[in-house]
Chains A and B, each alone.
Chain A
Amino acid sequence: MTVKLIDTPIDYHAVTESVRDHRAGAVVLFLGTVREFTNDQQTTALDYDAYPEMANAKMQELIDEARDRWPIIHAVIEHRIGHLELGEVCVAVAVSSPHRKDAFHAGQFLIDELKVRVPIWKKENWIDGQTEWVHPASEKSSSPPPPA
């Protein structure tokens, strides 16, 4: 499987191995991890929720688009859902290509677009015991692209 939602820790070594290939001269791995501080607010944990059918479809769509733009040999996206403690890996994106520039560009594209298009949400658990859904649009982020 090239895209996956999982509720257990992401095996990012296995993810990386799964894109390695003799045709590749470059493998790029991006890991998103649970960060403790957002400005001066302290996080103790995150809870991730997803719309699984659409999230899988959108992650696959992103890989298909990346393949149209760069000479990718293998690409994998795994996103964790459920409760994650500080430092845990919430997402892994791995890309292999013949040369490094394409692997970097494709990897950046995949994580940037995942954060805009793929229906997954995070809820902050702040240190004072309050919880809060993260809402990019109420801050400054972009909306998903209009329908084709």
Chain B
Amino acid sequence: MNVTVKLFAQARDLAGTSQANLSLNEEQSVKEMLASLIDKYPALSQIQGNLLVAVNNEYVSSESLIPANAEIACFPPVSGG
């Protein structure tokens, strides 16, 4: 399946894009999605251990599966306020 991953802050700057289009197999985990993302945008490896993933506006763990037709976002730890 094709997924679009929204990127923010330093993740967007390192990747050089605000949206990454990835082709994933069905039933892939967040960890596997991140591996595909970093494979496509190797500069993201600089913050690899810090990347957070949200699916449909909720934080998900690295073992969660990526659902079809979900809104996916990837970003570094937040620093608002």
**Interface residues in chain A, defined as those with a beta carbon under 8 Å from any beta carbon in chain B:** 32, 48-51, 53-55, 57-58, 79, 90-91, 111, 114-123, 133-138, 141, 143-147
Q: Which residues of A contact B79 (CB under 8 A)?
A: 115, 120-122, 133-136
B77-A136 in contact (CB<8A)? yes
Q: Which 4 residue pairs are nearest across A and B when measured between Cβ atoms?
A: A120-B80, A121-B9, A137-B77, A134-B79
User: In this assembly, does B52 line the interface, its C-beta being within 8 Å of a C-beta of chain A?
Assistant: yes
Q: Which residues of B contact A120 (CB under 8 A)?
A: 78-81
Q: Per-residue CB proximity of B36-75 to A under 8 Å, as 1/0?
A: 0000000000010010101001111100100000010101
* Set A32, A51, A137: member contacting B81, Cβ < 8 A: A32
A135-B80 in contact (CB<8A)? no
Select from chain B the residue with minimum beta-carbon distance to A146.
B61
A53 and B78 contact, Cβ closer than 8 Å, known pairs A135-B50, A147-B64: no
**Interface residues in chain B, defined as those with a beta carbon under 8 Å from any beta carbon in chain A:** 6, 8-10, 12-13, 47, 50, 52, 54, 57-61, 64, 71, 73, 75-81
* Set B10, B58, B61: member contacting A121, Cβ < 8 A: B10
A51-B73 in contact (CB<8A)? yes
A133-B54 in contact (CB<8A)? no
Extra A-B contacts (6), CB below 8 Å, given A119-B54, A146-B59 = A50-B80, A54-B73, A111-B81, A119-B75, A133-B79, A141-B77
